[in-house]
Amino acid sequence: MIESVRALPEFKELEAALRSPLAQTSLPSLPGSCGAVLLSALAETQASQRIVVIAPGPVDTPLLRKAVDQGGEKLLEAMKASTLLGRLGTPEEVAAAVVFLASDAAAFITGEVIGVSGGMGCGQ
């Protein structure tokens, strides 16, 4: 059980970072939104704050199910096949990563993009 959580998301600070002049000039030139968010947040943060981006893969949510309803079972199978584990993730699995990253056990993790994706993008 985590007794102490010092790293809580500061959404207002992140929003301010994304609106900063650095973010406005950097965002268009960076590949992918994860790197842009990370760069922007790191530019505006204090040395004592940790910034980590979570990049989830296909997660079984109502929104995904709605897309599958519209796109058919082939879409669902393609999403599953895009992961090394061959399945969709769960919201609980993504939440577990957030809890870990907010804990003291992750105190030395910063400036990273953490994939919670079942190995999506590892090249099969």
The predicted pLDDT at position 47 comes to 64
Tell me the DSSP string of the chain. Answer: ----------HHHHHHHHTSHHHHHHGGGSSSHHHHHHHHHHHH--TT---EEEEE--B--HHHHHHHHHH-HHHHHHHHHTSTTSS-B-HHHHHHHHHHHTSGGGTT--SEEEEESTTTTS--
pLDDT in tens, 2-59: 333 344 444 445 445 545 554 444 444 434 565 666 666 666 666 677 878 888 999 9
pLDDT in tens, 48-104: 778 788 889 999 999 999 999 998 899 999 999 999 999 999 999 999 999 999 899
What pTM was estimated for this model as a whole? 0.66
d(CA 37, CA 94): 18
